[in-house]
Amino acid sequence: MKPDLFEAPDYFALDSLLSQEHLLVRDAARAWVKRAVSPIIEQHAQAATFPTEIIGGLAEIGAFGPYIPQEYGGAGLDQISYGLIMQEIERGDSGVRSTASVQSSLVMYPIFTYGNEQQRQKYLPKLASGEIMGCFGLTEPDHGSNPSGMTTNIKDMGDHYLLNGAKMWISNAPFADIAVVWAKNEAGRIKGVIVERDMEGFSTPETHHKWSLRASATGELIFSNVKIPKENILPGKDGLGAPLGCLDSARYGIAWGAIGAAMDCYDTALRYAKERIQFGKPIAATQLQQKKLAEMLTEITKAQLLAFRLGQLKNEGKATTAQISMAKRNNVEMAINIAREARQVLGGMGITGEYSIMRHMMNLESVITYEGTHDIHLLITGADITGHPAFSS
Ligand SMILES: Cc1cc2nc3c(=O)[nH]c(=O)nc-3n(C[C@H](O)[C@H](O)[C@H](O)COP(=O)(O)OP(=O)(O)OC[C@H]3O[C@@H](n4cnc5c(N)ncnc54)[C@H](O)[C@@H]3O)c2cc1C
């Protein structure tokens, strides 16, 4: 792969609105991605392996629990810093960002928010340092966009619960030490359950042959009469709102992360267009390529402003689920469109692993589908503005 010469576009001087802390956190993550992710990521994506060697580095830049308080091992940062870290990691690879998102927003967040003190002390510091890794089990083979129909269940056996069912498309599943799993009790109420790797009857077969997020490990979670100690149930919240609260936090991170992938594609295409000579001049001097590049930068700039304002609202505790949906949907679509355009700017070279663009493009095909599909986020906006939820009967 080519050396990483990335320079971030900041056309509307957004950096001047960031605090010293934001800039420090962002620049540390940016430098780490250049040093630790860029040199190895293409090989891992080609081999479809998750780069376990970067887990320690992810922990060091604060990617595991950026906004979790320091007393639990988190970085104690605000929501804009969290977003900036996700942006920088996804600039390297969406699969690596997925691992960080899952660990922070889908595993640490529910344990911190819905867990009791004992659960927080037991799991959060180890998750923050990367000593243990987690995954989040909501999606099932027959229930994706409609998780409320889930059939995975827990049965009260007096001194413990029995967990049965299956989850699929679970990021980090093949190597996770713990899984935060959502299951219905006898009353049909959705509860959060912490399942540990060595529990009998629990297995995590890997999903192979993906063309997308190849450097992220995906798998199933199979539960066959898994004995769950009562202290492994998250007591703080139940019902569908509990997993949806986690998804709000992860989707917010994706709204920033997608900007990173888009910036990398734009920056790569701009540099290539300036260097590539056809018909005796750089292709950057042609109107058609300038149109592509100018439109890319316009869309990135709009997405940056959207994410920044959402971050301010999130810091104030005012960001709504519908606003987060709009930002995730807009920014991922923006990124996938830019990846497709940037790929064309590079001509034939755009399809090779010498450059990051095709990998970003394929990764974004998952990002546009997971954490709520592109359609579902549109329907969330539709329901919010009309008062009529069109996705349910
Ligand atoms: C690589 C990857 C990693 C993932 N990681 C995780 C994870 O860690 N944990 C986890 O729990 N899940 C994970 N997922 C699952 C992901 O969240 C689901 O794939 C997603 O929610 C969509 O569900 P589905 O694939 O079953 O599609 P479906 O729900 O079957 O949807 C199929 C199509 O129908 C459309 N559709 C559905 N309902 C409606 C409607 N009412 N109106 C109009 N159109 C509709 C959808 O938009 C979509 O285009 C992951 C998925 C992928 C691909």
For 166-210, what is each residue's pLDDT tens digit?
999 999 999 999 999 999 999 999 999 999 999 999 999 999 999
Clarify whether residues 251 and 371 are in a common domain: yes
Query: Residue 390, Cβ neighbours under 10 Å: how many?
Result: 10
Q: Point out the ligand 1 atom lying closest to the alpha carbon of residue 391.
A: 41
Give 1 or 106, the one with higher predicted confidence. Answer: 106
Enclosing domain of residue 25 = 14-129
Q: How many structural domains comprise the chain?
A: 3
Does one domain contain both 261 and 377?
A: yes
76 contacts 193 by C-beta, under 8 angstroms: no
207, 232, 257: which is the final residue of a domain? 232
Ligand 1 pocket residue status of 240, Cβ below 6 Å: no
CB of 139 within 6 A of ligand 1: the answer is yes
Boundary (domain end) residue, out of 188, 206, 232: 232
In a domain, 61, yes or no: yes
Per-residue pLDDT band for 392 (boundaries 50, 70, 90) equals: confident
Given a cut of 80, whether residue 212 has pLDDT beyond it is: yes
Q: Is 371 a catalytic residue?
A: yes
* 142 Cβ closer than 6 Å to some ligand 1 atom: no
Nearest-CA neighbor of 373 among 177, 149, 139?
139
How many angstroms does the Cα of residue 35 sit away from the middle of ligand 1? 34
Q: How far apart are CA 234 and CA 114, in angstroms?
A: 6
User: Residue 8 contacts by C-beta under 8 Å, 6 or more apart in sequence?
Assistant: 30, 91, 263, 267
Rounded to whole angstroms, the Cα distance separating 141 from 133 reads: 23
**Each residue of 294-335: pLDDT tens digit?**
999 999 999 999 999 999 999 999 999 999 999 999 999 999
For 365-387, how does the pLDDT look when each residue is reduced to its tens digit (9 = 90+)?
999 999 999 999 999 999 999 99
Residue 299: partners with Cβ closer than 8 Å, 6 or more residues away = 262, 334, 337, 338
Task: Read off the CATH number of the domain in which 307 is found.
Answer: 1.20.140.10
For residues 85 and 29, the answer to whether their CB atoms sit within 8 Å is yes
